[in-house]
A and B are shown apart, each in its own frame.
Chain A
């Protein structure tokens, strides 16, 4: 066989050329932005052949936000109930009232003022709308739009609608437009006006442009249409939602308040932690959400990136079925709470991405007491077990989701194994069963779980968003799922929800918290933090879990 026939030499050259074409060419001119600065990456140049839609947003006015947005299924404020979608919708639609980031006092937005009156059998809440408020279409925001928007929520009756229907007990016949600038809402005395106001700060309270929706209503009151268009009064409008890939927002040209510095926001759906790290390192993203402990370590010394650890309002807890032996004994539940090594969970398993919280009201919400009575105490736990007369080696099943990570970056299975080994020390034999999240919920809802390791996030930024589900058996939420009936505590929660005086309200919540800590069927483990990577040239970044949206893009700017 000839060793070097001309044909093989030519083939070799050909392959060489191909390889050069594949790797060589881009090497000469990198496309990624090396670091922040005045020079835009070559491909992003506004003078280039494919300028951004709207044409004017430069790299400095464009913000790229990367996060796991894979839960996003809707962009209709009356329907959206997923973290990804809420982050988009919250920047497009405005509500009558809202929180300033980092502050737990409600501030005016579309409503310049409001008044709560006791009108005998009902509460009457009157909102005066800001006359300068207008939609992206240029039309003014009127009382008619407000009533239409809230009625849509009730008519569509999707995931978040229970906030209006069950919690606020809002009915269509109880809302009316007094005049184009005044909205009047009546709530029954069993609902709390304070809770209603905090619900209004959430996306469900977002006001849509009635005429715009009516023109595009289709068969579902414009819900499908709103997934690809927007009709709000907020600082941004929806340019497009590319399913599974990204959302593109651009500044609302008709915005009635101060125009945002960032003219274009690109929210990329990036799920993998390693890709998030790469994106923030290269500057391909300006902000990345939910870095893992390894990524944080790798980025700690990066001069271009700042790590911001923001507190989430989620609680990770162990539910204990109060009607299943041996968990029906209050001593056993207390023993389990004393068996757990909380510090190890937070410091070792979470690498510090969380804090020990043991009560049912998370830090950041009104009424949080920072009470932490439990520290691992095996002797005390064993004593309690002996007192209850439970035999050594009693078997209990623990359900946990088969999904990968719990908030804070620890794997659910690791967390379950940690609890198993802690409880082993006090003589309880735990069998861990990892199942699909939806299967887990079905079992939990049917009161068929024994120990259930799971998380809870409040539905609205008021302590009642946690306290009622955790204490009221009748509410068919968490207390029900754990088969725990405590009518007197439930009564206290109702009282607390309705209390108008904040000092008195705080006292009531303190009382409830103390009782649930020791009598309840829960071992609250921790409250996670959400670690963000933020490029140093991005100014004004705040994450506030209590506020909607948690990240307000209009407050940001780039240097």
Chain B
């Protein structure tokens, strides 16, 4: 197991080197000048020169990359051109917001997707099954930004059941920082007003972001469960006179969940990319919004920082999924 983890970590390093080289090269190919982008139309030549020197843009791309990696090894991600703060500090602020949103979306997807998927499989061809399938179809087809706008228009602008964009009402102060996730931090602080408000703010973006994953999980769970429920050992279990619940929970569910687990790993990736749009629509100050703003203002240190996070998150999630297989399927453990 230890060797396995070490191998995974080495792979992770390789992935990062690959991703950072690609990002860096792409950045060099973009036909724009970050100095001009940052200083605007009235900057004087000497200021542009000074800016280039300050951010090392006057050196060759290879030199720039090597010095970046050198600083990275000392834990320095550089300074953002746009926020004028160390990138690490920015990430510390923005990442928890995205994690909070992605986790909430995942919870929505897991509960709704798996539960509805099982129900649809158990009650195959019922009205519920039909409704679940339509729900899944719509979820797979609807663009996230459209869904987000509709959600806001209905539940915020019209019905006013839920608050609008942002993580908290403007008049509230964020809880003392522990994790950076407002729901968790307000819970830790025992502040119920804040907890409630941050949860309410989380509902619409999480539902928007989670809808796509819900749809995917629902369809996967349904088809996987149908397959398992049709197998001989299930029929045997039923023939032995076991209770429906026992058959479903003890025999079918475990096997039915293996392909679902793979799907969870994959949809988590889509949650992160979906977060870019969701965060823009809901003014959610997370990594997605940070990434877009940094990219459009050619803030390369920040873009590299986000890339680093993404290059870490994906393999970590994949590793977790692999470990999940071990738990679910003894055959994988043996092999």
Contact = CB atoms under 8 A, between A and B. Distances in A.
A246 interface: yes
Given A8-B122, A27-B161, A245 B200 contact: no
Contacts of B172: 43-44, 50, 52
A441 B191 CA distance: 50
Given A22-B207, A43-B171, A43-B172, A6 B47 contact: no
B27 interface: no
A157 B334 CA distance: 67
B152 interface: yes
A475 to B, nearest CB: 11
A436 B36 CA distance: 11
A50 B44 CA distance: 48
Contact of A11 (B33, B115, B200, B298): B115
Contacts of B149: 274
Interface string A267-304: 01111101100110110110000000000000000000
A387 interface: no
A62 B170 CA distance: 10
B193 interface: yes
Nearest to A277: B157
B94 to A, nearest CB: 8
A32 B164 contact: yes
B173 A50 contact: yes
> 4 tightest CB-CB pairs across the interface, nearest first?
A438-B37, A44-B171, A245-B285, A438-B36
Given A32-B160, A275-B283, A22 B193 contact: no
B164 A278 contact: yes
Contacts of B93: 242-243
Contacts, number: 194
B83 interface: yes
Nearest to B289: A244
**Interface residue tally on B, bucketed by range:** 35 or more
A128 to B, nearest CB: 32
B193 A26 contact: no
Given A3-B126, A162-B42, A436 B32 contact: yes
Given A41-B171, A243-B85, A275 B165 contact: yes
B123 A227 contact: no
Given A41-B169, A278-B157, A439-B32, A49 B164 contact: no
A272 B203 contact: no
B112 interface: yes
The B contact surface, by secondary structure, is: helix
Interface string A154-178: 0001110110001000000000000
B166 interface: yes
Nearest to A243: B83
Contacts of B94: 244
Q: Give the most central of B93, B122, B200, B283: most A CB within 10 Å.
A: B283
A274 B159 CA distance: 16
A275 B245 contact: no
A516 B126 CA distance: 77
Contact of B161 (A30, A59, A157, A442): A30
Contacts of A59: 171
A158 B61 CA distance: 25
Interface string B219-238: 00000000001000000000
Interface stretch (A12-20, A129-137, A422-430, A550-558): A12-20
Nearest to B42: A459
Q: Give the most central of A64, A275, A445: most B CB within 10 Å.
A: A275
Contacts of A274: 149, 152-153
Interface string A253-276: 000000000000010111110110
A224 interface: yes
Given A1-B122, A278-B153, A445-B36, 10 more contacts: A26-B162, A43-B169, A49-B191, A158-B47, A159-B47, A244-B94, A245-B285, A275-B152, A284-B163, A441-B41
A23 interface: yes
